[in-house]
Structure 1
Amino acid sequence: MSTETTGAVDIRGPGAPGPGRHARRVALMIVSKYGTLIAMGIMIVIFGVTVPGGAFLSTNNLFNILNQSALTAIIAFGLTIVLVVGEFDLSIGYAASLAGVLVSGLLVNQGVALPVAVLVTLAVGAVIGVVNGLLVTKARVNAVVATLGIGTTLIGLSYGYTAGSPITAVPTAFTNITLGAFVGIQNPIWYMVIVLVLLWVVLNRTPLGQRIQAVGANKEAARLAGIRTDRVKVAAFVIAGLCAALTGILLASLLGSGTVSAGDGYLLDSFAAVFLGVATLRDGEFHILGTLVGVLVVNVGFNGLSLLGTPTFWQFVFKGGILVLAVALSTVARRYAKT
């Protein structure tokens, strides 16, 4: 029926979206912001139904997932800060490995007191961050090249310090750092929560965090606004170095030894988590809470597949597949939501 016979007037312009297009846009925006959370919810339901005896949804297993996520989350939180500022850090896994052997060596070989050994190791992590930051800001070396080179150097230092052999027989007080619990919750979970809160506050409620976000959004505009962009980038690398060192310390405590390559695998795990977090709650932005969700998604999948008796290689296929799928889905959803 035409508008002439009804008296109705179509006031929409030729480019205005119709009801169908608007609904599609809303649906796609929901996917772009909450797709990762929805995927995690679906996985929880599937594993809850398929894992025999309801083992997946048991309280012990859910806390086990959090415990397994803790160390990856801590190192990934530090990486998030570097990515927010617009740089990369490929040395974090190797820094964690070096921290593990260093704190173990200080305790076993040098007989250093536990608090001193931990503080010295954290200081070394901060120094690694300073070196990375200065290479990127002052020497103008590409962050990927600089941090990969530093990471390779750290591998050599780890082997030189240990002669390739694990450092064992660490004190019981050191292993109790991670093997203990507080009010029934494993210690690594508490460490994860503390680092999460601290870095969230730093990034969202402090002048340093505002500068980090400003530099990451537009470095030149930040510089013209009076922000010392080089110092801000160095600070971001220092935070990443501290988180990597803390992860290495906790890992050595958990294993009861310092092993040369123990923390290397956290590099890919943390990148997977951070980029999964990009597809969570915000439109393509790196942020701390998103990183936590990314870590949980990966570990929920790992845990569920393990309980189902799936061969180990499928867990790595899952990790790579869900990362690509989540980022691609979020990107496509945002693109079409704007059309």
Structure 2
Amino acid sequence: MTPSTTPAPAGAPDLDTPDISVRGRDTAAEVAPVQRSVRRIALLILSRYGTLIGLLIMLIVFTIKSPTGFLSLANFYNVLSQGSLTAIIAAGLTMTLVVGEFDLSIGYAASFAGLLSVGFMAHNHLPVVIAIVLMLAIGAGIGTVNGLLVTKVRINAVIATLGIGTILTGVGFAYSQFPIASGIPADFTQIALGRLIFGIPNLIFIMLIVLAVLWVVLNKTALGQKMQAVGGNIEAARLSGIRVDRVKTFAFAVSGICAAGTGILLSSLLGSGTLAAADGYLLDAFAAVFLGSATLRDGEFHIVGTLVGVLIIAVAFNGLSVFGAPTWFQPIFKGGILVLAVGLSTLARRYAKAS
């Protein structure tokens, strides 16, 4: 006996036919987490490795365009030498940024140190070593004054350091209104121009030594841990017994020493002491440090990242010069790379907080 089938009323759902709208919602619900995961991974790669990817792309492009001119040992040394002074001054700036402060006096301090160190030798006839040590001590003093103004007088770091830098410009102009280019010992110029080991420029060795020392201080010492604690959460650091003001002042002093060292090496490289010769290193240093903060870490300032940022800038400028880019393009590139650096750093910090 065949069972009878009763037709369903008009408008009633067909129970044997799957509901397409429900299936679409289920599919969308399954796809959404996948899309979020892909987006999160992409942001992670961009925030941590975007600078390294950019550096690799530049190396590939410049090598393809000029395999003999760009990809050579001599040009490799040239790139590192060009970036060495930026790396030294940027490493000092990194220390102040680690503790959550800014130092806008580094370019002016470097120019002042370069002029004064040459003056010590040419006008006051001080031995090279004495002049350099004295100038490094003055650089430490400049940084200490910056630190005391920020920590004790409670002046905003931007205002305090910019004011000190402007004062240094005036003092340097009063010391010598013209470049000092005579009476400079040959031993002094050989510091930057010499090649002691395997034909490698001295500037590269000096840069590596400075970066290695600061990396050890920041990552392998109790003082470095205190600096990172202050930069991470100043109130928690203070409550845990850390002498916050001393830690910040130390960071400013290191920045002043690195700025003075950069000015000394620049004068050795140029063979003269010139007012405002190193002012442009301020922008380069900030661009390098912020590019480095978006490298390997979530927007944190660190020495290895600063070196990567310096290499990006040095490789880019070297490539532009190899291909004959016009001079007016360099300041455009500097400003653009600084905006990009801060943007990548902000993206990395935002992602770190979101995750």
What is the TM-score with the length of structure 1 in the denominator? 0.92
1:235 aligns with 2:250: yes
Separation of aligned partners in 2, 1:305 and 1:227? 47
**In the superposition, relative to structure 1, how do residues 109 and 334 fare at CA in structure 2: closer, same or farther (>3 Å)?**
closer
Q: Deviations over 1:259-283 (max 9, x none)?
A: 1111111111101111111111111
Is 1:185 the equivalent of 2:232?
Answer: no
CA-atom RMSD in angstroms: 2.2
How does 1:266-277 map onto structure 2 within 5 Å? 266-277=281-292
Equivalent-residue separation in structure 1 for 2:229 and 2:302 (angstroms): 14
What's the CA shift string for 1:121-173, capped at 9, x where partnerless?
A: 00000000110011001111110000000000000111111133434331000
Q: Which of 140, 148, 162 is 1:126 aligned to?
A: 140
Higher alpha-carbon Rg: 2
Indicate how the Cα distance of structure 1 residues 139 and 212 shifts in structure 2: closer, same or farther if over 3 A, else same.
Answer: same
Amino acid at match of 1:92: I
- Asked whether the equivalents of residues 89 and 258 of structure 2 are also in contact (C-alpha less than 8 Å), the reply is yes
Q: Does 1:94 align with 2:108?
A: yes
1:44 aligns with 2:59: yes
Contact 1:35 1:330 in 2 (8 A): no
The CA deviation at 1:326 is: 4.1
| Alpha carbons of structure 1 residues 334 and 250: separation in structure 2 relative to 1, 3 Å | closer
Aligned to 1:114: 128
1:17–1:226 Cα change, 3 Å: farther
2:322 corresponds to which residue? Answer: 307
Paired with 1:324 and 1:22, the residues of 2 have a C-alpha distance of 28
Shift of the alpha carbon at 1:31? Answer: 1.1
Instruction: Give distance in 1, aligned partners of 2:139 and 2:215.
Output: 20
Find the residue that maps to 1:18 and give its secondary structure.
Answer: helix
Structure 2 match to 1:62? 76
Q: What is the rounded CA distance, in whole Å, between the counterparts of 1:274 and 1:229 in structure 2? A: 23
Instruction: Kindly state the Cα deviation for residue 330 of structure 1 after the two structures are TM-superposed.
Output: 5.3
- How far residue 176 of structure 1 moved from its aligned partner, in angstroms, is 0.6
Cα distance change on mapping 1:254 and 1:165 into 2, 3 Å: closer
Q: What corresponds to 2:89 in structure 1?
A: 75
Trace 1:139-288 onto structure 2 (pairs within 5 A).
139-181=153-195, 182-288=197-303
Contact 2:299/2:348 (<8 A) preserved: no
Query: Partners of 2:350 and 2:89 in 1: how far apart?
Result: 31
Contact 2:287 2:341 in 1 (8 A): no
Aligned residues: 330
Contact 1:67 1:188 in 2 (8 A): yes
The verdict on how the C-alpha distance between 1:248 and 1:28 changes in structure 2, with shifts beyond 3 A counting, is same
C-alpha separation in 1, matches of 2:242 and 2:159: 25
Q: Does 1:316 find its partner at 2:311?
A: no
Structure 1 residues 273 and 162, CA, compared in 2 at 3 Å: closer, same or farther?
Answer: same
Whether contact under 8 Å (1:107, 1:170) holds in the other structure is yes
d(CA) in 2 for partners of 1:172, 1:111: 13
User: Once the two structures are superposed, what CA deviation does each residue of 1:274-329 show, in whole Å capped at 9, x if it has no partner?
Assistant: 11111111111111111111111111111101110110121222222233234424
Q: How far did 1:50 drift?
A: 1.5
The code of the aligned residue for 1:279 comes to A
Match for 1:301: what amino acid?
A
Cα distance in 2 between the residues matched to 1:17 and 1:79: 43
Counterparts of 2:344 and 2:246 in 1: how far apart (Å)? 36
Provide structure 1 residue ranges, at least 5 long, that are not aligned to the other structure.
Answer: 4-9
* Corresponding position of 1:7: none
Residue 4 of structure 2 corresponds to none
Q: Distance between the aligned counterparts of 1:283 and 1:20, measured in 2?
A: 22
**What is the identity, as a one-letter code, of the residue corresponding to 2:51?**
T
Question: Does the 8 Å CA contact 1:28/1:334 hold for their aligned counterparts?
Answer: no
CA distance in 2, matches of 1:20, 1:2: 26
Q: Give the Cα–Cα distance (whole angstroms) in 2 for the partners of residues 76 and 22 of structure 1.
A: 36
- Greater Cα shift, 114-123 or 157-166: 157-166
2:176 is aligned with 1:136? no
Give the equivalent residue in structure 2 for 1:6.
none
Helix, strand or coil for the counterpart of 2:87?
A: helix
Q: Say if 1:188 and 1:2 are closer, same or farther in 2 by CA, change over 3 A.
A: farther
Distance 1:154 1:270 in 2: 19
1:84 maps to amino acid: V
Q: Where do 5+ consecutive residues of structure 2 fail to align?
A: 1-16, 20-25
